[in-house]
Amino acid sequence: MCLAVPARVDSLDSAASTAIVDLDGIRKEVSTLLLDEVTVGDYVLVHVGYALERIDPVEAAKTLLLFDELKGIEP
């Protein structure tokens, strides 16, 4: 099973087609080659180092809230 996670774009390097994204305080460089357009502040789905698509900020917030709830579940 594959999992793509929503992350906020913090900065862009258009010359290298990369972005720095933030997911719950974790900052990571990802490729933006698969996207036609992305701007700082957008939410993107990230999988294995690639931003796959831009997503609605409301939907991103819902998903991130679910991740926060999962953190609190005891095994």
CATH of residue 62 = 2.30.30.140
Query: How many structural domains comprise the chain?
Result: 1
* pLDDT tens digit sequence for 1-13: 678 999 999 999 9
Against a cut of 0.85, is the pTM above it? yes
User: What is the number of alpha carbons within 13 Å of residue 71 lying toward its C-beta?
Assistant: 7
**For 47-60, what is each residue's pLDDT tens digit?**
999 999 999 999 99
For tokens 């990571």, name the residue: 28
- How many Cα atoms are found within 13 Å in the side-chain-facing hemisphere of 62? 5
Q: Range of 21's domain?
A: 5-71
C-alpha 56 chain-centroid distance = 11
